[in-house]
Amino acid sequence: MAAQLPYKPRPGEIPTEPGVYRFRDADGRVLYVGKAKNLRSRLSNYFAPLHTLHERTRRMVTTASSVEWTVVDTDVDSLQLEYMWIQEFSPPFNVRYKDDKSYPYMAVTLADEAPRVIVTRNRKIRGAKYFGPYPKVWAVHDTIDLMIKVFPIRTCSDASYKKAMATGRPCFPGQIGRCGGPCSMKVTVEEHRAIVDDFVAFMSGGDQRFTRALTARMKESAAAMDYESAAVYRDKLQSIDAVLTRSALVLAPDTDADLFGVAEDELSAAVQHFVVRGGRIRGVRATTIDKELDISSADLIDQVLQRTYGDAPASDIPRQVLVPSMPDDATELEEWLRERRGRQVSVQVAQRGRKAELMQTATRNAQQALMLHKTRRTSDYVARSQALTDLQEALDLDEAPLRIECYDVSHLSGTNVVASMVVFEDGLPRKDQYRSFGVTDTTDDTDSLHQVLMRRLAYLDRPEEQEMDAVVSADPLADGDVVTTRRKPRFAYRPQLLVVDGGQPQVEAAARALRDAGHTEIALCGIAKRLEEVWLPGEEYPVILPRTSEALYLLQRLRDEAHRFAITHQRKRRKRDISSVLSEVPGLGPTRIKALLKHFGSVTKLTQASPAQITELPGIGPKLAETIHQHLRSR
């Protein structure tokens, strides 16, 4: 690999003004688009010595054959131009969005002579005003049913509307009270337009005004003993209350905000966009993102906001945008949003109070969405087949690795060392074949890994008679003999691929164990978490799988599952160890032991606690507290 890129600009060629840059390959395809407040400063990062670059950045700059830039007047202009070029060129190294298409919307067709309300998944209806998305299609229909009781607007089809207006006979939905448009022959086009405006204003967050107005009219009718009209207003108030109950008040009633919860790992991110109008959650949008280059959380938020508001109408941009972390160019984003909205927009981090609580909810939903996204990719049959095929090609294996074992070592500050073995067959976890190991005497993680693999590989070399477990059949033969069948223990099945959590040192330790055990025929690789690199034994450089590779998702899931299983085993072991120690203290039973561990939160804090601090727990006196303290100190 060349130490320097052949298309690197000469010193002084790159301007220091703000602008947007594009990397192109030999065919002229745009690979990556980025913006910078100072083009020279930003681009110099890409032309640093190749060995210092992030693996995926190095892959992008070595794939490219040229770089070009466009200078603009302001940072806001660079933000707008970057968004336009990303939309135009769809560069493969920029983040890629996968919007959740399953959610339906409520739409009001404002461009029509007599606007109607419909349920749709089409976001491109000319002149339509959208509300939602809603989690279920029935939720949209229920909301419409309640809303047209208060704001009777048109629901019939365009064909029914045209026929009714031409013949002078009400449309069928109008005859049964399901349509309140001019085609029902109850209102004029102008009167209907006013009702539509009220419908849109209510759904946009103006519910307090309509609630107060209907309440006042109901009281006036009741005072005038016009009880039929009062009952109509009462029913409308109940419908409004039912709609508002479906979208609970989460923030102050005058709050119009968009809140973004984000969960991410090295390869992907999930975004939950909560639309809050009038203090209530009016809709939720879900987006999954594939990250090709390594980008910071701030840069990810920057691109999410550009994507969300780049083509959005001014009415969809709120006064406040709440994010989990502040983008580096927050000032420019605010100015860009203000220009699009026509009024002030603030970008803030939700740090405390109800907004922070709502941010936690959105983030929790994003974490679940990210986990579901990864699980679906791994469990899908086509994706699993592709993953195994990709692994075979990437690691140069003779056959697809149908049985894969992954190992991870976990410890607590060098003590209480445990290791885990998880098993995937045909790309799916086999939890009944998971194993855990305790390591009593070790120097470091690589030594622990070597010990564990030697113990595991020893099962492959046991004689046949030792490998078999006897299983007695319940049906004896006629002569009284008992049928005895034998089966091979699961621990003795031979894997096609071993995966270790770690980089080059861990892989070399595992390779040494395979050589010492005489099983070099088993393939081996390691996956390093920081850069998601795949290391092979004896190789100086790692294998870099594409971020969208099914094989990389499978390896990542293996690594994460091994880590989870190791941590779970370690926690159970620590709890069991300290519980057994405490059970030796006279006067301490299971209930008090559980209360002690819950009160102090960890073994370390309990061990470091003074007798006076231990007596703070109800039911433990000074004498017992002193006994507990001395017993733990003597361990």
Place of tokens 């010492």: 516
Mean pLDDT computed over 265-284: 79
Pull the structure tokens for residue 303.
């691109």
Provide the 10 A C-beta neighbour count for residue 80. 19
Provide the 10 A C-beta neighbour count for residue 622. 11
CB 187 within 8 A of CB 180: yes
SS3 594: helix
| pLDDT band at residue 475 under the 50/70/90 scheme | very low
Q: How far apart are CA 352 and CA 231, in angstroms?
A: 43
CATH number assigned to the domain comprising residue 362:
3.30.420.10
Shared-domain flag, residues 312 and 435: no
| pLDDT band at residue 321 under the 50/70/90 scheme | very high
Q: Which residue has the higher pLDDT, 584 or 272?
A: 272
CATH number assigned to the domain comprising residue 603:
1.10.150.20
The answer to whether residue 511 scores a pLDDT higher than 70 is yes
The answer to whether residue 320 scores a pLDDT higher than 60 is yes
pLDDT of 477 reads: 37
In whole angstroms, what separates CA 158 from the centre of its chain?
A: 41
Pull the structure tokens for residue 257.
């905000």
Shared-domain flag, residues 434 and 318: no
Pull the structure tokens for residue 390.
């990709």
Pull the structure tokens for residue 487.
């089966």
The answer to whether residue 148 scores a pLDDT higher than 50 is yes
| CB burial of residue 217 (10 Å; 0-12, 13-18, 19+) | middle
CATH number assigned to the domain comprising residue 538:
3.30.420.340
In whole angstroms, what separates CA 374 from the centre of its chain?
A: 9
Mean pLDDT computed over 484-512: 75
Q: How far apart are CA 122 and CA 174, in angstroms?
A: 26
pLDDT > 70: percent of the chain: 81
pLDDT, one tens digit per residue, over 60-80 is 888 888 898 888 888 887 887
Provide the 10 A C-beta neighbour count for residue 590. 10
Angle at which helix 381-394 crosses helix 550-582, to 10 degrees, equals 100
3 lies in some domain:
no
CA atoms within 13 A on the CB side of 568: 12
625 lies in some domain:
yes
pLDDT, one tens digit per residue, over 406-427 is 988 887 655 667 888 888 888 8
pLDDT, one tens digit per residue, over 339-355 is 888 889 999 888 888 88
Of 571, 596, 620, the residue that ends a domain is 571
Q: b/e per residue, 387-404, with b = 16+ CB within 10 A?
A: bbebbbebbeeeebbeeb
pLDDT of 487 reads: 47
Q: How far apart are CA 268 and CA 97, in angstroms?
A: 10
> In which domain, by residue range, is 614 found?
583-633
Shared-domain flag, residues 264 and 356: yes
Shared-domain flag, residues 463 and 566: yes
Mean pLDDT computed over 355-381: 78
13 lies in some domain:
no
Pull the structure tokens for residue 94.
């920029």
When computed from its CA atoms, the radius of gyration of the chain, rounded to whole angstroms, is 33
| pLDDT band at residue 465 under the 50/70/90 scheme | very low
Candidates 397, 394, 403, 398; CA nearest to 423 is 403
| pLDDT band at residue 504 under the 50/70/90 scheme | confident
Q: How far apart are CA 32 and CA 64, in angstroms?
A: 9
12 lies in some domain:
no
Q: How far apart are CA 619 and CA 330, in angstroms?
A: 55
Q: Which residue has the higher pLDDT, 278 or 68?
A: 68
Shared-domain flag, residues 52 and 198: no
SS3 140: helix
Q: How far apart are CA 372 and CA 100, in angstroms?
A: 12
Q: Helix H segments across 380-503?
A: 381-394, 445-457, 464-467
Shared-domain flag, residues 392 and 427: yes
The answer to whether residue 501 scores a pLDDT higher than 80 is yes
Backbone φ and ψ for 246, nearest 5 degrees, come out as: -70, -25
The answer to whether residue 635 scores a pLDDT higher than 60 is no
Of 319, 345, 376, the residue that ends a domain is 376
Domains held by the chain: number:
5
CB 570 within 8 A of CB 414: no
Within 46-186, strands assigned E span 66-71, 96-99, 105-109, 117-120, 128-131
pLDDT of 592 reads: 77
Backbone φ and ψ for 447, nearest 5 degrees, come out as: -65, -40
Shared-domain flag, residues 603 and 514: no
The answer to whether residue 133 scores a pLDDT higher than 80 is no
pLDDT of 558 reads: 85
Sequence length of the chain is: 635
Shared-domain flag, residues 602 and 559: no
pLDDT, one tens digit per residue, over 177-201 is 888 888 988 888 888 888 888 888 7
Pull the structure tokens for residue 122.
């089409």
Which pTM was predicted?
Answer: 0.52
243 lies in some domain:
no
The answer to whether residue 316 scores a pLDDT higher than 50 is yes
Q: Which residues contact 118 (CB under 8 A, 6 or more apart)?
A: 106, 107, 109, 155
Q: How far apart are CA 537 and CA 507, in angstroms?
A: 6
Shared-domain flag, residues 454 and 521: yes
247 lies in some domain:
no
Q: How far apart are CA 355 and CA 367, in angstroms?
A: 18
CB 378 within 8 A of CB 387: yes
218 lies in some domain:
no
597 lies in some domain:
yes
Shared-domain flag, residues 76 and 46: yes
Shared-domain flag, residues 428 and 522: yes
Of 205, 221, 244, the residue that ends a domain is 205
Shared-domain flag, residues 448 and 427: yes
CATH number assigned to the domain comprising residue 55:
3.40.1440.10
